[in-house]
Structure 1
Amino acid sequence: DGGRERCSRIQPLTAVIVPLGGSIAGITEKDGVLENEALCLKLRKHGGHFTIIDRMTGELIGAQDIESLGPPFWPNEFEALPMTIEARTDALVASVASLQHPGLLFEKTIRLLSGTLIQVTYRLYNSSQETLNLQAQVVPAGMTTRRRIALPYKSGYLIEDIISGEFPQEDDLPRKGDCWQETWSAVEGDGNVLGVIWHPGSVAEAPAFSNIACPFLQFPEVKPGQVAEIAPLYFYAGSGNIDSVRRQYSLLIEGRIAKDHELQPRRAVEYGFDQPVLLNGNQAARKLHVSSMRTMKSMTGTLQVTMPEGWHCQPDTLAFENVLAANPA
């Protein structure tokens, strides 16, 4: 270039070499990084934001802001604090000291177990003079388009399309830890799935106020000088669907192979006849019904019955008001 010499800034480039069937952990300027052949996990040093990325496609599968200790859970002090992150052979160990509870250290260990399975273990180190009873609020989120959520409640196995701003909504579905028939939840879309799996008895609540259940993990009482640990939480992230998460739940938590069609899916709102329309003669008496699994947002409207040609229904409409889980029509 006319005999002129130019200098450019030298930037380091990290080459990640992952052993087959294994994982590798490291620290960059801004993140802790954990990778295997399927996933790349990144944990931000400042604020603790956690992302799950498909290693082959670069697609974001799931994300989570740092856990909040409480109650109360808001504001979350950890979002503005730096984390200490240590890279071990197959794990990231992250810790942050609480300002609201001086002498308390929150620690989590993230491991890639195999393929698309992630294990997260939590600990509290109490060096204060105060006995603490705390929960950790975990708020994951997954996918952005064409999504369905799965919530296996005791009141019904709910599988429903996600409608932004409409469904699901906070406090509009069961949230207590003992409301779950199986302790997992999932969101699927575009061939990928994000699932969260927890051990029975480890969660105080699990409301669905993002696009998946958000476990509130219950720590045991931690006295001065003690360390408290709870049963690990698991994420399933990657190629698959809702059934992929349920199969992993059955192996991890129940120690068995899941069978197809063990749970019968329900919709958030269901309607129809109370029994199949089978005729003995030329008529049958049946009742129309409308039911909902929602606990706060009621429905009011009219159900219209459309019959095949040559069939008649009297009456052919059902007006209903304020239908909720506790108030079917």
Structure 2
Amino acid sequence: MIILGPNRYGKAETRVVRVTRHGDVHHIKDLNVSTSLSGEMADVHLTGDNSAVLTTDAQKNTVFAFARKHGVGAVEDFALLLARHFVDSRPTIHRARVAIEEYAWERNAGSGHSFVRSGREVRTCVAHYDGSAAWMVCGLRDLVVLNTTNSEFWGFVKDEYTTLPETRDRILATAVEASWRHSAVSSADPDEDGAKNWDKSYESVRQALLTAFAGTYSLSLQQTLYAMGARVLADCPEICEVRLALPNRHHFLVDLAPFGLDNPDEVYLAADRPYGLIEGTVLRDDAPAAGPAWE
């Protein structure tokens, strides 16, 4: 027997820039929004009956309309607003997943209307709503960090293919990709989320990641990963789980002897690939089960 399995559809990567004008002082929210819906979609797959389908074009237009009608504050609030709308407004839509990336801009030279793209990381969130409960996963990516010392790597397995030398001092660099979830699952009532300060929570998690990376004397990137996740949970009681992906941005000391020069740990080759990729999860032992927003 052949049957239809889990499915969803949506509009990926709707780029929307919302400018808020307060006199001569303007503010920018620069987002990449992806929506995905599921529900009573068997007929459209099996017979081509589109009567239950909210078009992806309508999903895109909703993003733009809501940016105008409601403004854009914390991206988590905007994602939840969209997810609730899609489910609550259409009886054939039972679940909505809204993923947002936010790109940072900084004000240029004290101007109220001129901006320069910030070198900060990309802020992310994924909201999932099923009509009775909402789940949120917050995160960031491309948070590039580097320690010029206090990192070693030795004592590893050596087989016939091992060529990497042990080191008692090295540069440790990575581009952090992190996602984290809050302990509480929201109900269907959007007013409950109004009390959440997503921006404050985000900055607290970000600072915990940076503090742990800088303050950990690292014997492996895995050890640093655990220290970063543990610091988030220690500093941010509202967070119950952190998932981290840390690509090892290798820096190799360049041999300058052929040119009659020494190299006392000053000149390095920054290699972009291949790279080691360290991934792991740090969570509280009593963390509630992960919701569908992880998917």
Q: Which has the higher helix share?
A: 2
Q: Same fold by TM-score, threshold 0.5 exceeded? A: no
Query: What is the TM-score normalised by the length of structure 2?
Result: 0.29
Structure having the larger proportion of residues in strand: 1
Quick check: which has more Rg, 1 or 2?
A: 1
After TM superposition, the score normalised by the length of structure 1 is: 0.26
